[in-house]
Amino acid sequence: MTRKRMPKILVTGAAGQIGSELTMALRNRYGNQNVVAAGHKTAPSPTLRDSGPFEFIDVTQKETVEAVVDSYQIDTIYHLAAILSAVGEQKPQLCWRVNVNGLYNILEIARERGLPGIFCPSSIAVFGRETPRDNTPQETILSPATMYGVTKVAGEALCDYYVQRFGMDVRGIRYPGIISSETLPGGGTTDYAVAIYYEAIANRRYTCFVGESTVLPMIYMPDAIKAATDLMEADFALLRHYSNYNLTAMSFSAGELAAEIKKHIPDFTVTYKPDSRQAIADSWPRSIDDSAALNDWGWQPDYDLAAMTGDMLERLTARHAEGRLYP
């Protein structure tokens, strides 16, 4: 069934890296008043706060979400609230509570009310040391090496269970590292690929926490958002997967990323000091086979490394000139 009606949307984790931009994209698409942004503790940006409804919730406390769903008559939830991989290794119990119990609460709220649409992102962190690391297939071994990955494997299984058992419409994408200019990522392993741009502009040098030859799959935020909205608008009958579509736009090493930035900022230098996040990066794929997303809902990225770097540097340079480089 293709959705034609105007949805009434709740975005959890709306003040986060994906949420801050996805919420604005959804407001542009469906109308500001039809998209309720919800955060936990982080204050929303003025853009988010002033363009439509904003509420504070705690996804581990079901009643706080129910109150918002009921008062705004929400029918679609983009559930982005999560603890990422590096913070998850510092706080594994919190990571489980937020990522698994929080998702369970969202799914139960949707089941009890018969809500027609849920989006929940998964991650390349579902893969691990036993998984083929190059052109990682859609169907393969899931052997996560982090608590974050464990919660994402559990989350995919839980979402698919709700589809099979309760006939619900739950969709999701295994995102690769996401690079963005508006909101910093909060404690992931792929954060170096965002921080490097800011430091290139602010200081002309960057100390990278993974080695120069570390290769990971990545995507630029406009493509990450396009993927979410395209998947959610796809014909459900054509989907052969639900909550776990492999997705990628590009793969590059930390050294190749630095070299691309140097084309714009010739005196930029990078030193490499791998820390505990190196082991996490080494457990993840180098590249992803996302042909199922192409076949089922027409996925095609717009940005490669060169196009993304040009756009990132242009945006951050303009902000730096106004004295507000960091969000």
CA separation, residue 213 to residues 84, 166, 193, 276 (Å) = 23, 45, 13, 16
243 and 122 Cβ atoms separated by less than 8 Å: yes
Closest CB to ligand SER among residues 8, 174: 174
Among 190, 243, 244, 251, binds ligand SER (CB under 6 A): 190
Q: Classify 312 in phi/psi space as left (phi over 0), alpha (psi -120 to 50) or beta.
A: alpha
- Closest-by-Cβ residue to ligand SER is 188
- Scanning the chain, the segments in alpha helix (DSSP H) are 17-30, 46-51, 62-72, 85-90, 92-96, 102-113, 147-166, 192-203, 221-233, 254-262, 277-282, 291-297, 305-321
| CA 1 to chain CA centroid, nearest Å | 25
Closest CB to ligand SER among residues 20, 190: 190
Closest CB to ligand SER among residues 76, 146: 146
Among 23, 136, 180, 189, binds ligand SER (CB under 6 A): 189
Q: What is the footprint of ligand SER within residues 153-182 (CB under 6 A)? A: 175, 177
Q: CB 148 → ligand SER: shortest distance, Å?
A: 6
Check 72, 148, 175, 197 and give the catalytic one.
Answer: 148
Among 20, 23, 85, 99, binds ligand SER (CB under 6 A): 85
Q: Which two tokens stand for residue 11?
A: 């975005």
3-state SS class at 254: helix
Closest CB to ligand SER among residues 85, 243: 85
Q: Indicate if 148 belongs to the active site.
A: yes
Q: Cα(first)–Cα(last) distance of the chain, in Å? A: 39
Q: What is the footprint of ligand SER within residues 104-123 (CB under 6 A)? A: 123
Count residues binding ligand SER (CB under 6 A): 10
Binding footprint of ligand SER on the chain (CB under 6 A): 84-85, 123, 125, 148, 175, 177, 188-190
Give catalytic residues, as residue numbers. 148
